[in-house]
Amino acid sequence: MFKVSTEELKEKAYRIRRDLIELHFKAGSGHLDTSLSLVEIWLALVYSDFFQFNPKDGAWAGRDRIFLSEGHACPLQYLVNADLGYTTRDAVFAGFRRPFTPFQGHTQRDLKCGLENSNGSLGNGIWQAYGQALVTDRNVFCIAGDGEYEEPSSLGLLFAPHLVKPAPNFTLIINSNRLAQDDVVNLGPVDKVAEIYDWQVQRVNGHDFNALGNAYHQAVADTKRPSLIICDTIKGRGGDPALMGKLGYHGRPPKNEKEYQAHLAGLEASRRS
Amino acid sequence: MTTETYGSESLREAFGAALVEAGKVYGDLHVLDAGTKNSTMSELFQKVYPDRFHTPGINEPGMVGLATGMAMAGKRVVACDMSVFLHHAYDHIRTAARQGAGVHLVIAASHTGIAVGPDGGSAHDITDLTRMRLVPEFTVVAPWDGNQVRVAVQVILAKPGYYYLRLNRPKVPIFLKDPAPFEIGRAYRLREGSRVTIIAVGDKVFNALEAADQLGERFADVIGVATLEPLDESVIVESAARTSRVVTVEDHMFIGGLYEAVAGLLAAKRPTPMRRVSLDRVFTTSGEPDELALIYKLDTASLVNVCREFVGSS
């Protein structure tokens, strides 16, 4: 199912979480908790055996595409792309949230670095991704947040198979960590709406590599319908357990050595469990 | 002296026909519309190339998002709508412009200005030029007649970039010989005069020529602007330096449109007294286009009066 073993994926997840914590501590800003909730979702996708990419030629026409619509999760995107060979970990650490680097505070399109789309407001990227799916035969994945689904523009995309046409090569991945910036999020019957509008709908544990891998394979196997995968996740997963799944830490990096160490201790504890 | 015309045609009809021609040349041209294809005339393209026409229904943000994604895949893409509804899509337009080099996206807006007529203030988009000037990367194109629309469509589909194309609803005189002049970033001196410079954009260029004819031989220098961004600075500054008086004319609110673009330029390069023939910061009313032009003083006679008073007072 994957290009590497599940054990290797877990080790990568650990290292990337460690880097995410350090990266945000050093930068002094950024959305650590969102990135932490997405680690397994992203790694399972790029390490799925079907997933095509070429880090030496980021614009390669044969690549499968990942649009990031909840752009504040870009630090994870940068670090996964470094792992894949598009860039280096050092370049990400040197450039994150600094002037005129490829590693801005929200993603700026740069195919060389494996960055498929510049982010805008929530609800923008999903439509771009669907449009791209309509004119390419490659797989197009789009990662969106559950808070993003409060935007009417996002809900409207669920009608796309009817209003535009079905794009069976399109998979929408909703990271459902149930927490937005200032309040809890309830996706409500989004899954039921999607079913009515002819999406293949799956709901999985977004921290379970095998469940995610199976869901991605199911999605790309459907040649008639676009796919929606709702991934249940925990915001801040693998960081400071006192903050995990709690409201109020969106966009709040570790501010001092004590908070930084609390995140690292949480990471070590979660690795042992 | 009178300005010769060659019949009349709406800018949107010329646009629809130009899209069909471009569809023959470019197999990768895709066109989208959000429920107004028989207003923007994108339906002409749909009839010939149904597989390259897309619509998400009455959903402007969705249309611009889809169009952007297609353009990011390397296609030539034109997204069309009645201008006022593109307010909905402004956020998506801004995000589109942030996708970097190599993307080829045209936003085409029909039904701009008070020329829309009886549908009234809710349908008159009189701030579109301002909005599009505010988005970096966009070239802002406002052709003068159907012949220039045809050339402009060819030019903007030939080279990747982000383009806004301003069209409008009613039939307007064709006064440029085919092929019409059009280059990105170039304004054209259409009449030579020494007393006042009239700078016009879009279909108001015809009014500027009529006004110059009425003002008499070598009275008004007339400059036609077809790309507001980038603006041809040298032609405007040179003319202002010779006449020392500049009048702008546009079917658009004065804030952020041609008037302020020229004023900003001249303030920096060649401070020059100015007058404007444009809309105030108001919501406009229903009426036939010619009737509204009289009400809001965008007609040729009003332009002539403004020029005469301006020259007489200084």
Interchain CB distance below 8 Å, A128 and B57: no
Pairing, β B161-166 against β B138-141: parallel
CA distance to partner chain B, nearest, from residue A129 (Å): 6
B150 touches chain A (CB under 8 A): no
User: Is the per-residue pLDDT at B27 higher than 80?
Assistant: yes
Residue-wise DSSP of B248-266 = EEEEEESTTSHHHHHHHHH
Nearest CA in chain B to A162: B56
pLDDT in tens, B197-235: 999 999 999 999 999 999 999 999 999 999 999 999 999
Q: How far apart are CA B35 and CA B60, in angstroms?
A: 9
C-alpha distances (whole Å) from B293 to each of A66, B103, B297, B298, B300 are 50, 38, 6, 5, 9
pLDDT in tens, A18-71: 999 999 999 999 999 999 999 999 999 999 999 999 999 999 999 999 999 999
B183 an active-site residue? no
- The verdict on residue B275 lying in a domain is yes
CA distance to partner chain B, nearest, from residue A264 (Å): 36
What is the structure's pLDDT at A272?
84
A117 touches chain B (CB under 8 A): yes
Nearest CA in chain A to B103: A109
Domain range enclosing B49: 8-173
CATH fold label, A6-272: Rossmann fold (3.40.50)
- The verdict on residue B77 lying in a domain is yes
- The verdict on residue B3 lying in a domain is no
What is the structure's pLDDT at B241?
98
- The verdict on residue B235 lying in a domain is yes
B92 touches chain A (CB under 8 A): yes
**Residues B239 and B276 reside in one and the same domain:** yes
Contacts of B69 in chain A (CB under 8 A): 67, 127-135
A120 touches chain B (CB under 8 A): yes
B135 touches chain A (CB under 8 A): no
What is the structure's pLDDT at B78?
98
Which of B149, B173, B197 corresponds to the end of one domain?
Answer: B173
Q: What is the mean pLDDT of residues A146-155?
A: 91
**Residues B166 and B214 reside in one and the same domain:** no
pLDDT in tens, B127-149: 999 999 999 999 999 999 999 99
Q: What is the mean pLDDT of residues B260-273?
A: 98
**Residues B160 and B198 reside in one and the same domain:** no
B260-275 b/e (C-beta count within 10 Å ≥ 16 → b): bbbbebbeeebebebb
**Residues B71 and B142 reside in one and the same domain:** yes
User: Quick one: DSSP state of residue A112?
Assistant: G
**Residues B163 and B217 reside in one and the same domain:** no
CATH code of residue B308:
3.40.50.920
Q: How far apart are CA A189 and CA B164, in angstroms?
A: 39
CA distance to partner chain A, nearest, from residue B93 (Å): 10
Interchain CB distance below 8 Å, B94 and A132: no
Which of B173, B202, B225 corresponds to the end of one domain?
Answer: B173
- The verdict on residue B181 lying in a domain is no
**Residues B205 and B304 reside in one and the same domain:** yes
Nearest CA in chain B to A159: B56
Strand order in the sheet with B220-225: B187-191, B220-225, B196-201, B246-253, B274-279
Domain boundaries, chain A: 6-272
3-state secondary structure A198-217: CCEEEEEECCCHHHHHHHHH
Pairing, β A170-176 against β B220-225: unpaired
- The verdict on residue B179 lying in a domain is no
Q: What is the mean pLDDT of residues A186-210?
A: 97
CATH code of residue B69:
3.40.50.970
Q: How confident is the model at residue A250 (pLDDT cuts 50, 70, 90)?
A: confident
Contacts of B162 in chain A (CB under 8 A): none
Helices (H), A47-149: 74-84, 89-95, 125-134
**Residues B112 and B217 reside in one and the same domain:** no
Contacts of A117 in chain B (CB under 8 A): 72, 99
Q: What is the mean pLDDT of residues B191-200?
A: 98
Cis peptide before B230 (omega within 30 of 0): yes
Please count the other Cβ atoms lying within 10 Å of the Cβ belonging to residue B145. Answer: 24
Q: How confident is the model at residue B314 (pLDDT cuts 50, 70, 90)?
A: low
pLDDT in tens, A64-117: 999 999 999 999 999 999 999 999 999 999 999 999 999 999 999 999 999 999
Nearest CA in chain B to A109: B99
Across the interface, of B64, B66, B95, the residue whose CB is closest to A164 is: B66
